Structure 1
Amino acid sequence: MGAFFSLAGTKARASEYNEVSQSETCKRQRMSSNFNEENPRLIPSLPDEISIQILARLPRICYLNIKLVSRSWKTAVTSSELFNLRKELGTTEEWLYILTKVEDDKLLWHALDPLSQKWQKLPPMPIVAYEEESRRGLSGLRMWNVVGSSIKIADVIRGWLGQKDTLDRMPFCGCAIGAVDGCLYVLGGFSRASTMRCVWRFDPVLNVWCEVTSMSVGRAYCKTGILNNKLYVVGGVSRGRGGLAPLQSAEVFDPCTGIWSQVPSMPFSRAQVLPTAFLADMLKPIATGMTSYRGKLCVPQSLYSWPFFVDVGGEIYDPETNLWVEMPIGMGEGWPARQAGTKLSVVVDGELYAFDPSSSLDSGKIKIYDHQEDAWKVVIAKVPICDFTDSESPYLLAGFLGKLHVITKDVNHDIAVLQADRHNPLGSFPSTSSSHPADSSHEHSDLLAESETDVWKVIAARNFGSAELVSCQVLDI
């Protein structure tokens, strides 16, 4: 059996990215065609049912080379039967998918297998054509690249205030990222100055991109979350006659049916009680994050007027009642934020964590939300990060392998994946609220500082040159 695996060749293994050219793949398939005709079974002398059982137990990183053995082996390792069996056997693996922005404002995906610490470059998102509408009707076909670009939310706010619109110089930007049912989704964004409805899906089993049902409205900078194996999208901005306008609407995508359904719009109740019409016109309400927590969608919100923003709590959507309610005061007001649009949070083992940048340029804190006390508590007092002020997302949060991870660029400009690895549970520290005496808070900070030396370890790092972090997702396949 080992001889069959070796047919994948050394050329693919020589690359850390495990990339194999299409011509090389075709050549390998032609070389193995005679073998297939003589041995119709996947593994000679074994029923295919047993062979599938064997393949399902192999690490997923092996599949890239295994599918080069023959057409029948490629069919086997890209079949739903195999991956359904992996779920039954409990042999699924969590991979980290990182979206980066490179030169010419293009977005590229990279996948990391944390067990083997090997990286794999995903195929680029396809170039497609869309018709744009103008006041005179159809203005013709415009070519744009789904990989597009991304800009800071601050540039969008400048557009709201009538300043120079950066979007007019951008081919595509502001897309949202989601992951559901083992696939990545890229949603909406801008094509030049028009918000898009399109949705693209990446299937990691087939290693291909395809377009799926579009959203009901064009959105950029919307927020995504997963509940009950469905992809929810809320807020964002849309291009109207008066320029960019914030959206309160929400919708949900069912990957099983491929259908989008409407969800009640966010009330933005805090924005409705502004004292004057002037403030209501100047301060724009925006959703600054979304996290699925305890069976509900938690959406922190802000009122924004460049260059100022004010946190106004947030709202929570309950799928059972199909209603939005105000977020608990402590949860909303204490939700850490670096800037509007970048409230980083992740749920690990049922606990809600958020990244809170410090005033220092080389550190940050990790906080956990205590739903019983309705308070955020510091659990890791120092996160070793470097501040890249020109980057839209200088750091990201992810939860996989049952642990909290921070993705950032180190001092050598390598993209590093840091894992919180400590013997003490992350939530074992006492609360650091303002109501505590000053000396108690000082003692607690000292305790945290002393215990940070063994917290973080780098599980993977790679130099992607000038690439900037944009977003990340985790797929369990």
Structure 2
Amino acid sequence: MAERSSMELPSTQLIPGLPNDVAMQCLARVPRIHHPILSLVCKSWRFTLRCSPALFATRSHLRTTQTFLYLNLRINSASHWFTFLQRPNSPNTRNPVLLPPIPSRPIGAAYAVLGHKIYVIGGSINDIPSNHVWVFDCWFNCWEVGPRMKISREFAAAGVVGGRIYVMGGCVVDNWVRSMNWAEVFDPVSGSWSAFPSQIEVRDKWMHASTVMDGRVYAMADRGGVVYDVGAGQWGSVPKRLDLGWRGRAAVVGGVLYCYDYLGKIRGYDVKEDVWKELKGVENRLPRFLCGATMVNFDERLCVVWEGKGSSKEIQIMCAEIKVRKDENGDLSGTLIWSDAIHLVPNGASIVHCMAVDI
């Protein structure tokens, strides 16, 4: 990071005959999948494409960003990170890119995406809970050390609301410090964590899942879990129907939370109606996951990732994208856009987490 920040943009013109700010807008319109080829044109282009924050800021301003899938896999007891790029006009072609490994290997960490950065929060290292935070900069494919939390956590809940990261749980409330800091919020502007009030009766230890819906952070515990309304600053209980129907790793798309039920079907929960409904239209297009599958909101489409079939030495990491809709009656339907293997990994590998980031 220090090396990158110390470099300056070359004084030569990026495109002969054009001011550099205009040339920057031209480069910003090129899909990122083509950046490796563009970087071969000249040194100034290579620097701009790899090291210039101005390029990514211009992409955001022009709304030419693309959504990329980031996947954390556990392979042979080691953590591996990949990103998957979609080739234009060829939806069945995927190129997994191996990312730098995280400096430590936390187990049971919480994850959050804030802007172009992925936050890996807490987790246990050598069976000891940690308050460390690692940050992956998706612009420049590098890890940074983030500000530490006030207390150590593992299997905590995390959610992003209003440009801030809220975490709760993942610790034993056995002293005053843990009690006062059971819930913390990270402000990227100040770059620091601070505690926010929580009620004694909501301070469960472990959280097995979390999400954000309508400005509220839902933290699912073994005994129901809690809801924190960020705008109102109020705590509440998770609706009973949501608690009974939530299985595995869920994703919120269009205000509806999707996950697999105990029969292996995708169902959606509408928090306003407090009801679960089956997602129609994909019943015979995807496997039935009795143990669930990993889901993520991928550019307002439901993305499902799972460990597929393989040989005695390798298994396939499968992925599917589903366009979901809710009609005027509140019924849910989906259209399978594509489904294919995106990577081959050694047998025994498992999916830890997946995220979608706009860059």
**1:253 — aligned with what?**
186
Structure 1 residues 400-449: Cα deviation after superposition (integer angstroms, max 9, x where no partner): 13211110122222101112247xx3567877xxxxxxxxxxxxxxxx9x
**Which of 165, 174, 177 pairs up with 2:111?**
177
2:12 to 40, 51, 63: 40
The match for 1:302 is: 222
Displacement after TM superposition at 1:217 (Å): 0.6
Distance of 2:47 and 2:162 partners within structure 1 = 30
* Structure 2 equivalent of residue 373 of structure 1: 273
**Separation (CA, whole Å) in 1 of partners of 2:180 and 2:169:** 5
Give 1 or 2: higher strand fraction: 2
What's the CA shift for 1:238? 5.3
Aligned to 1:361: none
| Shift in alpha-carbon separation, 1:239–1:125, aligned structure 2, 3 A | farther
SS at match of 1:83: helix
**After superposition, where does 1:9-408 map in structure 2 within 5 Å?**
40-77=12-49, 78-103=51-76, 105-116=77-88, 117-126=94-103, 146=104, 148=105, 172-237=106-171, 249-265=182-198, 267-269=200-202, 286-303=206-223, 312=224, 314-332=225-243, 334-337=244-247, 343-358=248-263, 364-380=264-280, 382=283, 384-385=286-287, 395-408=293-306
Task: Give distance in 1, aligned partners of 2:179 and 2:83.
Answer: 33
Q: 1:331 and 1:387, CA in 2 relative to 1: closer, same or farther beyond 3 A?
A: closer
The count of aligned residue pairs is: 336
What's the secondary structure of 1:54's corresponding residue? Answer: helix
Structure 1 residue matching 2:100: 3-state secondary structure:
coil
Given that residues 421 and 457 in structure 1 are in contact (C-alpha distance below 8 angstroms), is that contact kept between their aligned partners in structure 2?
no
Higher helix share: 1
Alpha-carbon displacement from aligned partner over 1:258-292 (angstroms, at most 9, x marks no partner)? 111212235445x9xxxxxxxxxxxx753222111
Deviation of residue 388 (structure 1)?
9.7
Q: For residues 69 and 247 of structure 1, what CA distance do their matches in structure 2 show?
A: 56
Q: Per the alignment, do residues 349 and 79 of structure 1 end up closer, same or farther by CA in structure 2, a change over 3 Å counting?
A: farther
Q: Sequence identity, in percent?
A: 28
Q: Secondary structure at the match of 1:464?
A: strand
Partner Cα distance (2:216, 2:197) in 1? 14
Q: Structure 1 residues 90 and 102 mapped into 2: Cα distance closer, same or farther (>3 Å)?
A: same
Displacement of 1:56 in angstroms is 0.5
- Shift in alpha-carbon separation, 1:191–1:406, aligned structure 2, 3 A: same
Q: Distance in 2 between matches of 1:187 and 1:404?
A: 24
Q: Secondary structure at the match of 1:40?
A: coil
> Which amino acid letter does the alignment assign opposite residue 96 of structure 2?
W
Does 1 or 2 have the higher relative contact order (CA < 8 Å, sep 6+)?
2
How many Å separate the matches in 1 of 2:37 and 2:173?
Answer: 46
Q: Cα distance 1:193–1:461, how it changes in 2: closer, same or farther (>3 A)?
A: closer
Q: TM-score, normalised by structure 2?
A: 0.83
Q: Which protein has the larger Cα radius of gyration, Structure 1 or Structure 2?
A: 1
Residue equivalent to 1:23: none
| Separation (CA, whole Å) in 1 of partners of 2:290 and 2:272 | 36
Structure 2: distance between partners of 1:110 and 1:204: 11
Distance 1:109 1:326, change over 3 A: same
Q: Which residue of 1 aligns with 2:5?
A: none
How far did residue 350 of structure 1 move? 2.7
C-alpha distance 75-256 of structure 1, shift in aligned 2 (>3 A): farther
The 1:428/1:472 distance shift into structure 2, 3 A limit, reads farther
Q: Distance in 1 between matches of 2:179 and 2:350?
A: 26
Q: 1:456 to 1:355 in 2, by over 3 A?
A: farther
Alignment-mate amino acid for residue 121 of structure 1: L
Shift of 1:336: 2.0
Q: 1:76 to 1:285 in 2, by over 3 A?
A: closer
Deviations 1:24-59 (A, max 9, x none): xxxxxxxxxxxx99x921122222122101111000
- Which runs of 5 or more residues in structure 1 are unaligned? 1-35, 127-145, 149-171, 272-283, 304-311, 338-342, 359-363, 432-447
SS of residue paired to 1:290: strand
Pick closer, same or farther for the CA change 1:68–1:267 going to 2, 3 Å: farther
- Kindly provide the amino acid, as one letter, of the partner of residue 28 in structure 2: A
TM superposition score normalised by structure 1: 0.63
1:411 to 309, 319, 331: 309
- Per the TM alignment, residue 347 of structure 1 is displaced from its structure 2 partner at its CA by 1.3
Q: Which runs of 5+ in 2 are unaligned?
A: 1-8, 89-93
Give a deviation string over 1:140-178, Cα, whole Å, max 9, x none.
xxxxxx1x2xxxxxxxxxxxxxxxxxxxxxxx4222222
How many angstroms does 1:355 deviate by?
2.4
